[in-house]
């Protein structure tokens, strides 16, 4: 597909359709390349979690659910380890130490929200026959040769 002579015309058609849709009021559309190299105009519901940012780099629903499980495990292990330490030392831990697991609640909720959003997007893309969007910017992957770092 790298030397596909029809790609520029398909890209121009998709870009024109995207611009017409945005002009018609669908301003939330996202124009990006898909993993198959084609330019696609996605609705935010189809796009899923944000890619191409410096934030969360986990873009799969399973990866986000794994992070939710990890955060829940931390929220269970910290109080358990405090209880074990109390049992061995017969001491009283600080009140603030019991609040430590609560730091992970917003993180678990954040990853759960991302997992649900991506799962819904995957379902919509499958129903509509759309490929998944790529995690890389268009310019970094598909425009011209890469500069030689030796120069």
Q: State the 10-residue block means of pLDDT for the chain, 151 residues long.
A: 78 90 87 86 84 70 92 90 78 77 91 92 91 65 49 54
Give the number of other Cβ atoms within 10 Å of residue 46's Cβ: 21
Q: 50, 128 in Cβ contact below 8 A?
A: no
Structure confidence at residue 88 (pLDDT) = 75
List for the chain the helix, strand, coil content (%; round to 5): 60, 5, 35
Q: What residues contact 117, with CB distance under 8 A and at least 6 apart?
A: 48, 49
**Angle, CA of 46, 116 and 112, to the nearest 5°:** 140
pTM: 0.70
pLDDT in tens, 65-102: 999 999 999 999 988 888 887 777 777 777 777 788 88
Domain ranges of the chain: 7-138
């Amino acid at each position: 597909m790298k030397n596909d002579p029809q790609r520029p015309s398909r890209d121009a058609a998709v870009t024109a359709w995207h611009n017409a849709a945005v002009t018609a009021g669908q301003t939330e559309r996202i124009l990006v390349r898909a993993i198959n190299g084609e330019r696609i105009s996605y609705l935010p519901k189809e796009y899923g979690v944000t890619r191409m940012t410096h934030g969360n780099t986990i873009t799969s629903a399973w990866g986000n659910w794994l992070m939710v499980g990890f955060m829940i495990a931390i929220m269970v292990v910290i109080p358990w380890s405090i209880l074990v330490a109390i049992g061995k030392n017969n001491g009283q831990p600080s009140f603030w130490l019991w609040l430590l697991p609560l730091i992970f609640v917003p993180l678990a909720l954040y990853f759960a929200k991302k997992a649900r959003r991506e799962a819904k997007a995957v379902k919509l893309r499958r129903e509509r026959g759309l490929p998944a969007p790529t995690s890389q910017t268009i310019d970094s992957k598909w425009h011209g040769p890469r500069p030689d770092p030796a120069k």
